[in-house]
Structure 1
Amino acid sequence: MTTMFRKALGVLPRVGVQVLDLGPGAAVVSRRGGYSATKMSADAWMVGGKGSGTRTPADGWGLHKSAASSLCSRHVADLLANYEVNCVFDVGANKGQYGKQLREFGYRGRIVSFEPVPDALAKLRKAAERDRDWQVHPFALGRSESVENMHLGWKTMNSLLEPSEYGQQRYKRFADTTSTTEVQLRRLDAIMDDALAGIADPRPYLKMDTQGFDMEVFAGAGKRIGEFVGMQSEVAALQLYEGSPHMSEAIAAYEDAGFEITGMYPVTREGSTGRVVEFDCVLARASAAPVQLP
C-alpha cells in the first residue's frame, strides 16, 4: 500500500520541487535540485548539493568538508548533552556562528563568547542580544594580561600572529595590506568566576578557534583547566601562522591535562594534494562523564 509519505513525494515534482528518494522514510527535496547521494550504511546517506560531485578532487573535497562540518556539529551537541555541560566558553566567537549553531542543535545552557575585532564584535552582539544567557566580552584570551596588536583584513582569519610562508602561499588575503588594532588580552582563569556566576554546579566546555593562538588561550586557564569537562580546538597539520604549534604538540598538551580525543574533523584541505591543513579536535575528560562505564 502506498503511504502518505510516498504520495506526497509523487506530487512534489508537479509543483516544481525536485525529489531525491533515499528509501523508506527518507528523502531530500529542493526547488533547485542537483543533489547527489552516497549510501554510507544500511540507514545512512551522505547528501551533497549541486556542484558537489566528484569530477575533480577539489569538487570531492567540498563535499567532504560539508560532511565533516555537519558531523562535528552533531558530535559536539551530543557531547554537551552527555556531559551535562551548562556553560560553553566560545573563544574566537567571530560573528556568533558557533553560538547560534549551539542553539539550533538544542543547547540551552550559558554561552560566554570572546571577540576583540570591532566589526565582528558588533555582529556578535547583534546575534546574542535577545538571548538572556549568552554573554559577550570584547577582548581576547591569552597566556598573559596584556595589550597586543591584532592583524585585521583577513576576514575570519584575523590573528595575533604573522602568517607563515606556507600560509602566504595558500591564502592570497595574507599578502594584502592589513591594518592592526590594539586588543586587550585576559587570562581565562581570571574571568572564570564572573562567567560562571549563578551556576550551582558548573560543568564548563572550552571551544577555541583563534587562528593559531589556541595554545596561548589554553595556557591562560592555568590549573583551572581541570574544571572543564570537555574542549574543542582547531589544530594545525600544516602551519598557517608563525609560532603556532603543530597538531601533535597541541594534542599532547591537551592529553597531559587529562583530555582524550572523541573526534577529529577536517576543516580545510589542499585541493591538489588532499592534505588536511587543519582539524577540529574534540576532546573530553572521561572521568567527568556523569555515567561511568564498568
Structure 2
Amino acid sequence: MQTLYRQLLRLMPRLGVQVTDLGPGTAVVSRRGRRLRIPLGTDADLLARDNARYSVADAGRDTWLVLRDKARAAGAPAPQWTGVPLGDSGARLLLDRRAATDERTFQLSAAEYLCHQHVAAMLDFYGVNCVFDVGANTGQYAKRLRRLGYTGRIVSFEPTAETFARLEKAAEQDPDWRVYQLGLGSEDTAGSIHVGWKTMNSVLPPSAYGRDRYQRFATTRTEEIRIRRLDGLLEEALDGIADPRPFLKMDTQGYDLEVFAGTGKRIGDFVGMQSEVAVLRLYEGSPAMSEAIATYEQSGFEITGMYPVTREATTGRVVEFDCVLMRAEAAPARG
C-alpha cells in the first residue's frame, strides 16, 4: 500500500510541480525545469536543472567541482583535471588539460583575473576611497570592484545615450556610485563619438590595422557628446569625502592621454591609476605605449602591474595592455 508521502509525490506533477524522488523520505520539488540527475560516484548524486548549464567534475579524493557549463549526460567521461601549484603561494590551480589547446584564451583569462585582483589589492593597500571610472560602458568595472570588496565611492563617466541609460540603471541601487553622461578630455567642448562598436566606441577613427583586425569598424555612425575636463569636476565628485585618496581608471579606446591631460595640476591628488596602453594601435591618433607610460611616469606614477588585454591569434603579439600604476610616495607608512 502506498504511503501518503508517495501519493503526494505522484499528485504534485498534476499541479505543475516537478518532483525528483531521492529515496525514502527525501525529494526535491521545483516549479519549473526538468531535473537532471548526475552521478558523482559512490553514494553521491548532483541534481541540476537540465537547462542550467552546470556540470560536475572529479577534482580528487572527496572533492568535486561544479562548473557553469552544459550538464553532461550520466556516464559521460569527466574532464581530465590536473592540479598546478601557483608558486610558493600555497594555492593550486585546477586545470582541465583541454585548456592547453587554446593557450591564448587561457592566458588572457588568467591575465584578466590577475589584473582585477591586483587592482583590488592596490585600492585596499593605498586606502583609495574614490575611483574615477572613465569610459564606464555599462558599469562592468564598477560592479567588479564591488564584488571584490571595494566599498568606497565610484564616479563613472559614459558619454553615449544608450549605453549611459544601462549604466544609470546598474548604479541606481548603489548610493555611493555616481554616474555622469559625459566624455572626458583635455578641454571643455562638444564632440562626436563613433558608436555601434560595442565596447570599442571611440572619439577616434580606426587605424588601418584596426580596420583589418575588427570587422565591427567597417560600419559606423556618430553621436554628439559633451566633453569636460576632469579637474573641473573633482570638487563635486569628491564632495563629502574628508580625506580624498582617488584612483583614476581610464578605458577610452585610444583617448586616455587626453583624459589624463584634463586632470591638470590636480593629477597630484591621485594615488594611483589604470590605463589601457596600445602596443599595436587600433585608432588613428592614439599614442604609442611608450609615450603613454612616459607621460604617466613623469607625473610620479610607477608601474605595479602589466596585463595583456588582447593578443593576435596569428602571431601571439600583444595588442594592448592594462597598465596599473601607483604613486609610491602615497603608500601608507608601515610600522
- TM exceeds 0.5? yes
Q: Is the 8 A contact 1:237 1:247 kept in 2?
A: yes
- Aligned residues with identical type, % of pairs: 57
Work out which structure has the larger RCO, using CA pairs closer than 8 Å and 6 or more positions apart in sequence: 1
Give the superposition deviation at 1:49: 7.1
Residue 201 in 1 paired to residue 243 in 2?
Answer: yes
In structure 2, how many angstroms separate the alpha carbons of the residues matched to 1:12 and 1:113?
Answer: 51
Q: Is the 8 A contact 2:171 2:178 kept in 1?
A: yes
Q: Which runs of 5+ in 1 are unaligned?
A: 1-8
Counterparts in 2 of 1:199-238, with a 5 A limit?
Answer: 199-238=241-280
Query: How many residues get paired?
Result: 279
- The DSSP-based 3-state class of the residue aligned with 2:123 is helix
In structure 2, how many angstroms separate the alpha carbons of the residues matched to 1:162 and 1:108?
Answer: 37
2:67 alignment partner, one of 21, 27, 30: 30
Distance 1:172 1:111, change over 3 A: same
In structure 2, how many angstroms separate the alpha carbons of the residues matched to 1:12 and 1:233?
Answer: 52
1:53 alignment partner, one of 93, 99, 119: 99
Q: Name 2:59's counterpart in structure 1.
A: 21
Aligned CA RMSD, in angstroms, stands at 2.2
In the TM superposition, what whole-angstrom CA distance separates every residue of 1:45-78 from its partner, at most 9, and x where no partner exists? 345679x6223xxx21111111111100000000
Q: Which runs of 5+ in 2 are unaligned?
A: 1-39, 48-54, 72-77
In the TM superposition, what whole-angstrom CA distance separates every residue of 1:94-137 from its partner, at most 9, and x where no partner exists? 00000000100000000000001111101100110010000000
Residue 164 in 1 paired to residue 201 in 2?
Answer: no
Give the superposition deviation at 1:272: 1.1
In the TM superposition, what whole-angstrom CA distance separates every residue of 1:175-216 from its partner, at most 9, and x where no partner exists? 12x111111100010000000000000000000000000000
Q: Name 2:87's counterpart in structure 1.
A: 41
Q: Name 1:66's counterpart in structure 2.
A: 109
Q: Is the 8 A contact 1:37 1:45 kept in 2?
A: no
Q: Name 1:248's counterpart in structure 2.
A: 290
Q: Is the 8 A contact 1:35 1:47 kept in 2?
A: no
Distance 1:136 1:49, change over 3 A: farther
Structure number with larger C-alpha Rg: 2
Q: Is the 8 A contact 1:141 1:186 kept in 2?
A: yes
1:135 alignment partner, one of 150, 167, 178: 178
Instruction: In structure 1, give the amino acid aligned to 2:57.
Output: V
In structure 2, how many angstroms separate the alpha carbons of the residues matched to 1:12 and 1:188?
Answer: 61
Q: Name 2:305's counterpart in structure 1.
A: 263
Distance 1:131 1:11, change over 3 A: farther
In the TM superposition, what whole-angstrom CA distance separates every residue of 1:7-52 from its partner, at most 9, and x where no partner exists? xx8679632652342689x8632264757556133533345679x6
Distance 1:53 1:184, change over 3 A: same
Q: Is the 8 A contact 1:21 1:27 kept in 2?
A: yes
Q: Name 1:175's counterpart in structure 2.
A: 218
- The DSSP-based 3-state class of the residue aligned with 2:100 is coil
Counterparts in 2 of 1:69-84, with a 5 A limit?
Answer: 69-84=112-127
2:192 alignment partner, one of 127, 131, 149: 149
In structure 1, how many angstroms separate the alpha carbons of the residues matched to 2:80 and 2:276?
Answer: 30
Q: Is the 8 A contact 2:57 2:79 kept in 1?
A: no
In structure 1, how many angstroms separate the alpha carbons of the residues matched to 2:254 and 2:43?
Answer: 48
Q: Is the 8 A contact 1:12 1:19 kept in 2?
A: no
In the TM superposition, what whole-angstrom CA distance separates every residue of 1:211-241 from its partner, at most 9, and x where no partner exists? 0000000000001000000000000000000
Q: Is the 8 A contact 2:59 2:94 kept in 1?
A: no
| TM-score, structure 1 normalization | 0.89
Q: Is the 8 A contact 1:13 1:19 kept in 2?
A: no
